[in-house]
Amino acid sequence: MADTIAAVSTLLGRSAIGILRMSGEEALAVAERVFRPDNGRPLGQQPTHKLVNGCFYGADGALLDQCVAVWCRGPRSYTGEDTVELQCHGSPTVLAAGLRSLFAAGARQALRGEFTKRAFLNGKLDLVRAEAVIDLIDAETEEMMANAAHQLGGAVSARMEAVYSDLTDVMSHFHAVIDYPDEEIEPFLLEQVDGTLSRSAGTLERLLRSFERGRVVREGVPCAIIGRPNAGKSSLLNALLGYERAIVTDVAGTTRDTIEEKLLLGGVLLRLTDTAGLRGTEDPVERIGVERARAAAASARLLLAVFDGSAPLTADDERVLEAAAAAEKRVAVVNKADLPGVWTPAERERIAAAFPTVCTLSAKEGTGLEALSGAVAALFAEAEPAPLGEMITNERQAEALSRALEALGRARSALRAGITPDALLTDVEEAMAALGEITGRTVREDITNRIFERFCVGK
């Protein structure tokens, strides 16, 4: 067992309960030095996995808190080692003094993610599930939360293991063939192997396809609001957020710098940027604002182009149309629907031709926003949503998946071309190594370290 680590696992602020956590060889001994159960028996003689009331003492022997301890004997614990949790009153002062007391009694400060890393090293979790722990803690939307919770339950791991085990079968068949080189490979064996490879590739392809959605769910979509000055961009930002985030006035050129906010719209997490109105200007400050607006538009995956439906289109709107033309996804927002519309059929046609989706609304009155929300949902909807927990949200996993797929592709062409079994084995082996990296079977230590550094202390 490893040395004993300790950390505060809850937020360091005033709250109902605050938890100190320990794991390692000495966890029980350290706890017995600082915690005295009310019933007089040492903690090690109390039942495991049960709450035990008692007194928690500081490094100098002073009483810190009346609290509850739970001890779990490894391997039946989160980390697989002996662990002790001290559930104190949620006072930052108690927790800080308590942690010092644990250090004085023989524990050391845990590093970021060190508890979960130990769980991984002790075979309690594979890497996919460990990464789901971070995703769950970081989840900003319910979709992300649900996916992480199911991944934690092993949804992706189970798929990977099934593929890994099929490939192991292929390897063992072919090793047998290599051992008897004079014998012809039975055609039915070739067919069977091709079937297995194609099934495996199908599973991996489906997982990899879900990464597109996974990225949207995990990172959110960069989205810029552009339009000519006074079109109502800042009003739209405020209406969507539900509070007056940006300054709105009837002075054209009110917004100069970009303003960024996160927002859930149509179930999609948008990283929204309100920008300066696009127009030609001599003002040096406004000019920088316009450059920033163009940059935000260029890096956005979704553009909301705002037009004023209560006034004719102008030359500045042409700039907006130009900036929007290259966008991956774009929606025209025809604003000020509370005022009489003045567009000619030609103007309406011009906008309809440039945008696959047009939403008419009033940012000022907050009406028509549902249509925009529906449009965004539709733009990012998936034809075949991945089953719960089987959405890949992780760059590292996606990269290894594509390597595994490429290797399987090569193996299948080798098989069809009648190449020698050892060439095929090399490719299958490479695919298995890539899958092993995903679950952590064959991952390099520096990569594991990097993964666990993303955790918080105490997890």
Ligand X SMILES: Nc1nc2c(ncn2[C@@H]2O[C@H](COP(=O)(O)OP(=O)(O)OP(=O)(O)O)[C@@H](O)[C@H]2O)c(=O)[nH]1
Q: Where along the sequence are the contacts to Mg ion (CB under 5 A)?
A: 233-234, 254-255
Residue 314 contacts ligand X per CB under 6 A? no
Minimum Å gap between C-beta 227 and ligand X is 5
SS3 category, 329: strand
Residue 84 interacts with which of ligand X, Mg ion, none, CB < 5 to 8 Å by class: none
Residue 229 interacts with which of ligand X, Mg ion, none, CB < 5 to 8 Å by class: ligand X
Minimum Å gap between C-beta 259 and Mg ion is 8
When binding is defined by CB under 6 A, the residue of 140, 338, 347, 430 that contacts ligand X is 338
Residue 29 contacts ligand X per CB under 6 A? no
What residue type is 358 in one-letter code?
A: V
Q: Which stretch binds ligand X (CB under 6 A): 111-119, 210-218, 244-252, 391-399?
A: 244-252
Cα(416)–Cα(409) distance, integer angstroms: 11
Q: Which residue has the tokens 């979704």?
A: 302
Whose Cβ is closer to ligand X: residue 125's or residue 331's? 331
Q: Which stretch binds ligand X (CB under 6 A): 21-29, 199-207, 333-341, 347-355?
A: 333-341
Whose Cβ is closer to ligand X: residue 64's or residue 305's? 305
Phi-psi bin for 406: left (phi > 0), alpha (psi -120 to 50), beta? Answer: alpha
List phi, psi (to 5°) of 77. -155, 170
List Cβ<8 Å contacts ≥24 apart for 320-323. Answer: 320/226, 320/227, 320/228, 320/278, 321/350, 321/354, 323/226, 323/278, 323/294, 323/297, 323/298
Whose Cβ is closer to Mg ion: residue 332's or residue 405's? 332
Residue 335 contacts ligand X per CB under 6 A? yes
With CB under 6 A, what is the number of residues at the site for ligand X?
Answer: 24
Cα(81)–Cα(123) distance, integer angstroms: 11
When binding is defined by CB under 6 A, the residue of 60, 179, 182, 250 that contacts ligand X is 250
Residue 122 contacts ligand X per CB under 6 A? no
Residue 1 contacts ligand X per CB under 6 A? no
With beta carbons less than 8 A apart as the criterion, state whether 181 and 422 touch.
Answer: no
Residues 127-146 that bind ligand X (CB under 6 A): none
Whose Cβ is closer to ligand X: residue 220's or residue 229's? 229
When binding is defined by CB under 6 A, the residue of 336, 410, 412, 459 that contacts ligand X is 336
Residues 364-403 that bind ligand X (CB under 6 A): 364
Residue 362 contacts ligand X per CB under 6 A? yes
Cα(364)–Cα(306) distance, integer angstroms: 13
With beta carbons less than 8 A apart as the criterion, state whether 454 and 117 touch.
Answer: no
List all residues 6 or more positions away from 203 whose beta carbon is below 8 Å from its beta carbon. Answer: 159, 162, 163
Whose Cβ is closer to ligand X: residue 305's or residue 414's? 305
Whose Cβ is closer to ligand X: residue 23's or residue 335's? 335
When binding is defined by CB under 6 A, the residue of 9, 77, 210, 230 that contacts ligand X is 230
Alpha helices by DSSP H, listed for 368-420, are: 369-379, 395-416
Residues in a beta bridge with 266: none
Give the N- to C-terminal CA distance of the chain in Å, as an integer: 18
Cα(148)–Cα(193) distance, integer angstroms: 33
Minimum Å gap between C-beta 368 and Mg ion is 19
Q: Which stretch binds ligand X (CB under 6 A): 18-26, 228-236, 384-392, 426-434?
A: 228-236
Cα(260)–Cα(275) distance, integer angstroms: 9
Residue 227 contacts ligand X per CB under 6 A? yes
Cα(151)–Cα(181) distance, integer angstroms: 43
Q: Which residues of this chain interact with ligand X, rule CB under 6 A?
A: 227, 229-235, 248-250, 252-255, 276-277, 335-336, 338-339, 362-364
